[in-house]
């Protein structure tokens, strides 16, 4: 009798295991398209036969069924770490590639409305003045083309300033996302620790936390360390952003004007830098760095290049223009001026308001002389011309943009590869789940048949005993 009832318990444990396995498969299939979901598997062990002594020890006794031990989350810590590392590098690179691409676009080259074409037209206008000295029309065209050069420089400079402000606002948003993600990870840590202590499944919570730690890595290059109690510590720059159920916050410091230094500090330790060297936040901060003789932030360096070019144009043209005389005999005049207190590229303007203010003739040579105008026109073809300086700016920006794009493509491929490897082990495979579904279904049917057979045996044993010979 004892072994018979034991058989019922064995069959029942098989029913429970099969039903739990069906539930796990159903959960996997339901989340096949859920971002960040890691497939689960039922963990079971066989229950050994009971120890028997005396008369009850005779014969071989089978085990007592199956034990449902856990529902395992089939994630790989090493692959998860590679995904976070790839996300950190990609976050940094994508921000820089996008910014350089935008900057290259603002240069407006090669276009008929670009500065290169404007400078060519400007120098050509001086030659026209030299060839038609004393005439009003060529001089008027010259003034218009000089103003066009100044306007183009100012427009480009303002575009860089606007891009800097956009990136600065972006840093505020990224810091807010980082703080929010850290807070959510700390809250999930508490729930996961509590769930494990209570024996409750926490796989879905771990999945959600994994997505958040990947997001943190993409923002600030965070690394993750797991604790024995199921919680994780998230470190940024070697310092804890999240430790257990406690999250720290970061604050953006610095002005909102191009040229100001901008940084990230720990909110609870003013003056202490976050120290992030990867992720989109680090990429954005690298763009916002002040100019430093070509080694500073990309945007500040571009703005400084515009100002240097505007100063070069004014200096070179004015140096020759001052040696000439106007049709009225005036000498020592500037053609361009730079407004004090304003960036040179935005403060450049043409001084003469009419043809009589253009000093095209050599002093004492008469109004019909165009010697000085011709000399100014030849500036564009000289070795140290503004045209060559602008060409250097355009080519160096284009080269930098191409390099950043190539690097972004590589980091993007690395991220995709890491994600694919992660998903190959952790993602849901419908073919595999269907096989598991059939296996658990057949196991359930088999256990049910065993219970039915034992039930019939018990019915015979209980209700049929004593009937023989009646």
Q: Which domain holds residue 53?
A: 2-74+428-464
Q: Residue 185's closest CA among 157, 214, 148, 163?
A: 214
Q: In the beta sheet, which residues pair with residue 266?
A: 250, 269
186 and 272 assigned to the same domain? yes
pLDDT tens, position by position, 226-260? 999 999 999 998 899 999 999 999 999 998 899 89
Average pLDDT, the chain: 91
Asked if pLDDT for residue 409 goes beyond 70, the answer is yes
185 and 309 assigned to the same domain? no
Report if residue 390 sits inside a domain.
yes
Q: What is the domain count for the chain?
A: 3
DSSP states of 340-390? TTS-HHHHEEE--SSGGG---EETTS-TT--HHHHHHHGGGGSTT-HHHHH
456 and 323 assigned to the same domain? no
Asked if pLDDT for residue 93 goes beyond 60, the answer is yes
186 and 239 assigned to the same domain? yes
44 and 185 assigned to the same domain? no
Q: Can you give the pLDDT at residue 466?
A: 60
pLDDT tens, position by position, 51-63? 665 555 546 667 7
Report if residue 408 sits inside a domain.
no
pLDDT tens, position by position, 108-141? 988 888 999 999 999 999 999 999 988 999 999 9
What is the mean pLDDT of the segment spanning 411-423? 95
Instruction: Identify whether the C-beta of residue 99 lies closer than 8 Å to the C-beta of residue 290.
Output: no
List the structure tokens of 57. Answer: 């020890």
Instruction: Identify whether the C-beta of residue 237 lies closer than 8 Å to the C-beta of residue 274.
Output: yes
If residue 99 lies in a helix (H) or strand (E), which one and from where to where?
helix 77-107
Report if residue 235 sits inside a domain.
yes
Report if residue 178 sits inside a domain.
yes
Instruction: Identify whether the C-beta of residue 209 lies closer than 8 Å to the C-beta of residue 232.
Output: yes
Sheet holding 269-273, edge to edge: 250-254, 262-266, 269-273
Q: Can you give the pLDDT at residue 161?
A: 96
List the structure tokens of 231. Answer: 């919680």
Report if residue 216 sits inside a domain.
yes
16 and 70 assigned to the same domain? yes
179 and 277 assigned to the same domain? yes
Q: Can you give the pLDDT at residue 263?
A: 93
pLDDT tens, position by position, 444-467? 898 889 888 887 777 777 776 666
**Final residue of a structural domain among 275, 292, 309:** 292
C-beta atoms surrounding 125 within 10 Å = 23
In sign, the C-alpha dihedral spanning 402, 403, 409, 415 is negative
451 and 318 assigned to the same domain? no
């Amino acid at each position: 009798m004892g072994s018979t009832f034991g058989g019922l318990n064995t069959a029942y444990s098989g029913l429970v295991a099969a039903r739990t396995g069906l539930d796990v498969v159903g959960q996997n299939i339901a989340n096949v398209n859920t971002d960040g979901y890691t497939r689960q598997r039922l963990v079971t062990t066989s229950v050994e036969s009971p120890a028997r002594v005396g008369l009850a020890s005779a014969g071989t006794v089978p085990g007592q069924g199956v034990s449902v031990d856990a529902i395992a989350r089939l994630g790989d810590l090493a692959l998860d770490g590679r995904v976070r590392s790839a996300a950190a590098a990609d976050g940094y690179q994508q921000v820089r590639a996008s910014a350089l691409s935008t900057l290259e676009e603002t240069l407006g080259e090669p276009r008929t409305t670009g500065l290169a074409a404007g400078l060519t037209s400007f120098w050509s206008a001086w030659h026209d003045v030299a060839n038609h000295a004393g005439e009003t029309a060529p001089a008027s065209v010259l003034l218009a083309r000089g103003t066009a050069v100044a306007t183009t420089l100012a427009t480009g400079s303002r575009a860089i300033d606007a891009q800097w402000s956009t990136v600065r606002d972006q840093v505020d948003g990224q810091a807010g996302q980082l703080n929010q993600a850290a807070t959510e990870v700390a809250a999930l840590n508490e729930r996961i620790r509590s769930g494990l202590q209570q024996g409750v499944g926490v796989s879905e919570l771990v999945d959600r936390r994994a997505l958040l730690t990947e997001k943190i890595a993409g923002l600030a290059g965070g690394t993750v360390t797991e604790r024995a109690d199921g919680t994780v510590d998230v470190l940024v720059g070697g310092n804890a952003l999240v430790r257990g159920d406690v999250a720290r916050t970061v604050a953006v410091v610095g002005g909102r004007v191009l040229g100001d230094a901008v940084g990230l500090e720990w909110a609870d330790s003013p003056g202490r830098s976050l120290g992030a060297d990867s992720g989109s936040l680090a990429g954005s901060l690298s763009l916002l760095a002040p100019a430093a003789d070509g080694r500073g932030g990309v945007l500040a360096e571009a703005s400084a290049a515009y100002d240097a070019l505007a100063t070069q144009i004014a200096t070179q043209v004015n140096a020759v223009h001052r040696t000439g005389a106007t049709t009225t005999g005036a000498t020592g005049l500037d053609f361009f001026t730079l407004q004090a207190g304003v960036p040179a590229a935005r403060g450049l303007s043409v001084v003469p308001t009419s043809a009589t203010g253009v000093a095209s003739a050599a002093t004492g040579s008469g109004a019909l002389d165009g010697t000085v105008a011709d000399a100014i026109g030849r500036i564009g073809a000289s070795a140290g011309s503004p045209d060559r300086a602008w060409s250097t700016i355009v080519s160096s920006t284009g080269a930098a943009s191409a390099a950043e794009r190539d690097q972004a493509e590589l980091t993007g491929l690395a991220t995709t590869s890491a994600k694919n490897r992660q998903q190959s082990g952790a993602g849901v495979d419908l073919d595999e789940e269907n096989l598991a579904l059939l296996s658990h279904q057949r196991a359930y049917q088999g256990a049910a048949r065993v219970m039915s057979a034992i039930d019939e045996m018990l019915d015979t044993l209980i209700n049929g005993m004593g009937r023989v010979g009646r």
